[in-house]
Amino acid sequence: RSLLRDELPDAEVLVVSNREPYIHNMEDGRVVLQRPASGLVTALEPIMRACGGTWIAHGSGSADTVMVDERDHLPVPPDSPNYTLRRVWLTDEEQDGYYYGLANEGMWPLCHIAFVRPVFRASDWEQYVAVNRKFAAAVVAEAQTPNPVVLVQDYHFALLPQMVREQLPEATIITFWHIPWPNPEMFSICPWKEEILTGLLGSSILGFHTQFHCLNFLESVDRFLACHIDREHSVVRGTEGTTLVRPYPISIEWPPAALATQPPVNQCREDVLKHYGLPAHVRLAVGVERFDYTKGISDRFRAVQSLLEHHPDWIGSFTLLQVAAPTRGRLAAYQITQEEAETLAREINERFGRDGWHPIVLIARHHEPEDVLTLFRAADLCMVSSLHDGMNLVAKEFVAARDDEDGVLVLSTFAGASRELLEALIVNPYDIRAMAEALHSGLSMPPEQRRERMKLMRDLVSEHNIHYWAGRMLLDAARMRKRRAIERQIV
**Which residues in this chain contact ligand G6P in the complex, by CB under 6 A?**
18-19, 38-40, 154, 178-179, 290, 327-328
The distance of closest approach from Cβ of residue 319 to ligand G6P in the complex, given in angstroms and rounded to an integer, is: 27
The distance of closest approach from Cβ of residue 282 to ligand G6P in the complex, given in angstroms and rounded to an integer, is: 31
**In 95-227, beta strands by DSSP E:** 149-153, 172-176, 205-208
The distance of closest approach from Cβ of residue 60 to ligand G6P in the complex, given in angstroms and rounded to an integer, is: 9
The distance of closest approach from Cβ of residue 134 to ligand G6P in the complex, given in angstroms and rounded to an integer, is: 17
Distance, CA of 370 to CA of 63 (rounded, Å): 23
Q: Identify which of residues 18 and 305 has a Cβ nearer to ligand G6P in the complex.
A: 18
Distance, CA of 70 to CA of 306 (rounded, Å): 55
Q: Identify which of residues 90 and 360 has a Cβ nearer to ligand G6P in the complex.
A: 90
Q: Are 273 and 282 in contact (CB under 8 A)?
A: yes
Q: Which residues are bridge partners to 362 per DSSP?
A: 322
Q: Identify which of residues 146 and 329 has a Cβ nearer to ligand G6P in the complex.
A: 329
Q: Note the Cα 336 to chain centre separation in Å.
A: 22
Distance, CA of 173 to CA of 53 (rounded, Å): 15
Q: Identify which of residues 327 and 374 has a Cβ nearer to ligand G6P in the complex.
A: 327
Q: Which residues are bridge partners to 272 per DSSP?
A: none
The distance of closest approach from Cβ of residue 37 to ligand G6P in the complex, given in angstroms and rounded to an integer, is: 7
Distance, CA of 481 to CA of 473 (rounded, Å): 12
The distance of closest approach from Cβ of residue 440 to ligand G6P in the complex, given in angstroms and rounded to an integer, is: 30
Is 253 buried (19+), middle (13-18) or exposed (0-12) by CB count in 10 A?
Answer: buried
Q: Identify which of residues 35 and 300 has a Cβ nearer to ligand G6P in the complex.
A: 35
Nearest to 16 by CA among 131, 150, 146: 150
The distance of closest approach from Cβ of residue 162 to ligand G6P in the complex, given in angstroms and rounded to an integer, is: 20
Torsion angle (degrees, nearest 10) of CA 225, 227, 228, 229: -50
Q: Identify which of residues 290 and 464 has a Cβ nearer to ligand G6P in the complex.
A: 290
Distance, CA of 416 to CA of 404 (rounded, Å): 25
Q: Identify which of residues 38 and 319 has a Cβ nearer to ligand G6P in the complex.
A: 38
Element at 400 (helix H, strand E): helix 393-401
